[in-house]
A and B are shown apart, each in its own frame.
Chain A
Amino acid sequence: MSTSPRAPRTCRETSVVVVVDEDTFRIALAENLRDDGHPVHDCPDPLAVGRLDDVDVVVTDYEMESMNGLAFADMVHATQPAIRIVLVTAYWTAEVEDALAARPFVRLHRKPVDYDALHAVVDGGADDTAAEEPRSRR
């Protein structure tokens, strides 16, 4: 049995959930993505996100009031491993680096975020290159 390669999705088909509790950032990111034609659901609270059945990408913050972004990423990955997860953070410590190194399914973008770079990951065209990879501790 052979499997045919998955047809590349167009950006207009990629649905995104933005889970960030910083309102200004979340609203602007969601607006940018909507302007690019993505169906976007934005939510400040990971516990209020709801079902993620038709979601392609989750963009989440690291530090949030109700739940840590990495814990949320773990939860998403455990239930929906096909969903691409992008973590954005202004918090950059060795502990965060170690936590990210243990989660290759999480792509990282450091704040302030370059929208085009993040959009390339959302779009699926920059799975392994555009995102910042977790750095090993020296």
Chain B
Amino acid sequence: MSESGPSQALRTLQLSEARWQAILDTARDAVICIDERGRVTLFNRAAEAIFGYAAAEVVGQNVKMLMPPPYATEHDQYIEKYRATGAAKAIGRIREVHARRKDGEVFPIELSVSEARAGDEVIYSAIIRDMTERQAMQSELTAARQLAHQRERLADIGAITARIVHDLGNPLAGVSMQAQLLLRRTRRDPETPAAALQEPATRIVEEVGRLDHLIKDFLDFARQQRLDLKQIALPPFLQRLIDMWHPVAAERDIELALEVMHEPPPLDADEVKLRRVLDNLVKNAVEAIDRGPGRVDLHVLAPLPDRVRIVVRDNGPGVPQTLQMFRMFETTKRDGSGLGLSIAKQIIDAHGGNIGYEAVVPHGAAFYVDLPTRPAHV
């Protein structure tokens, strides 16, 4: 015969109580309940472990004993305000705040508070997760990332330094060896005819010129690109570029042509710097073909009303796929510094534009420069 009436209700209540107690006892997180005056009514085992208090030390006390300033001093006012206005700061949200252990240690917690009502009685329940270990791990992770970043930067600096030393060291070695040749010859025979010294001296001057060019490239790369914007009419600007390169191209049997597909809008740009970028692209195209017959075409497009695209296309051998050509020191040229395109990228970036490359089928290269007609952020 089954139980019924009050004894069944009592048993159901006992079972429910036991179930909740089991849950509270095994929970990893602290569960703390307070009444509407802030007095602790429940303090589970995890709360004992986290805060270092026995439940008997806390139950009946104001919960602010578990809080460091400023939470401790503000808590009573907060409850009062909530009761008066219903404006909740913590209820229904998960917040990262700090709590205080019995030994006074302040530690990070994740706090979620809910509210329950039984008749006139209000219960606030807080689930508290100790974030000490997680924050320590995050700090370690952040420190490890910073260290890795720092090491990468040092490695980059090391690689760049080695490259600069190499690029300057080679012409310097040539100058030095030529100078030693001159000195040894003149010491051996003070009457050495000047004509015999001309070739070493010429080579010294050439190598010093190479060094000078390199140093200027490094300086250009290191210097922030400040623009002197002026309105440029692109067709005559590009025609002057073509006219300047025409003799060089013709000497190599390379045809150089300009095609303006649409009348582009006037462009606000730094004329000298943009000319430097395009000089670099045309020079690269001519040198890639080396000896003709070959062809280098400049196209001007206006893909959008406020942007222009300049394309320098050649039918040379193209660029190796592995070459990251806009990075420092990336070059396929024997005597190239590998700075030309990285400086070009800096200049175009400073205009708020974009420089890129597309392979040409069956062979060749197309470098494009996209520019806003009116740079916004310069």
Contacts and interface: CB of A to CB of B under 8 A. Distances in A.
Contacts of A12: none
A111 interface: yes
Interface in B201-225: 203, 206-207
Given A21-B334, A112-B169, A27 B176 contact: no
A93 B162 contact: yes
Contacts of A21: 334
B173 A25 contact: yes
A32 B181 contact: yes
A90 B173 contact: yes
A124 B278 CA distance: 53
Contact of A28 (B169, B181, B334): B181
B180 A115 contact: yes
A62 to B, nearest CB: 9
Interface in B142-165: 158-159, 162, 165
Contact of B185 (A25, A35, A92, A111): A35
Interface string A1-39: 000000000000000000001111101110110010000
Nearest to A111: B173
A113 interface: yes
B377 interface: no
A92 B188 CA distance: 34
Contacts of A91: 162, 165-166, 169
Contacts of B168: 90
A132 interface: no
B266 interface: no
B165 A24 contact: no
Interface residues of A, number: 23
Nearest to A112: B176
Chain B interface main SS type: helix
B170 A90 contact: yes
B320 to A, nearest CB: 14
B317 interface: no
A24 B169 contact: no
Interface string A97-121: 0000000000000011101000000
B175 interface: yes
Interface size class on chain B is 20 to 34
Contact of B177 (A35, A63, A89, A112): A112
Greatest chain B CB density within 10 A among A22, A25, A93, A113 is at A25
B171 interface: yes
B346 interface: no
Interface in B35-92: none
A127 interface: no
Contact of A31 (B162, B181, B207): B181
Contacts of B188: 35
A122 B204 CA distance: 24
Interface string B257-291: 00000000000000000000000000000000000
B203 A111 contact: no
Nearest to B182: A28
Nearest to B185: A35
Nearest to B332: A65
Nearest to A91: B166
A44 B255 CA distance: 32
A108 B188 CA distance: 28
A93 B200 CA distance: 31
B203 A24 contact: yes
A65 B334 CA distance: 7
Interface of A: 21-25, 27-29, 31-32, 35, 63, 65, 88-93, 111-113, 115
Interface of B: 158-159, 162, 165-178, 180-181, 184-185, 188, 200, 203, 206-207, 334
14 contacts: A24-B175, A24-B178, A24-B203, A28-B174, A28-B177, A28-B178, A28-B181, A35-B188, A90-B166, A90-B170, A91-B166, A111-B169, A112-B169, A112-B175
Given A90-B170, A91-B165, A92-B165, 15 more contacts: A24-B177, A24-B203, A24-B207, A25-B174, A28-B174, A28-B177, A32-B177, A89-B166, A91-B166, A93-B158, A93-B162, A111-B172, A112-B176, A113-B177, A115-B184
Top 8 closest pairs, chain A to chain B, by CB: A90-B169, A24-B174, A111-B173, A112-B176, A28-B177, A25-B174, A112-B173, A28-B178
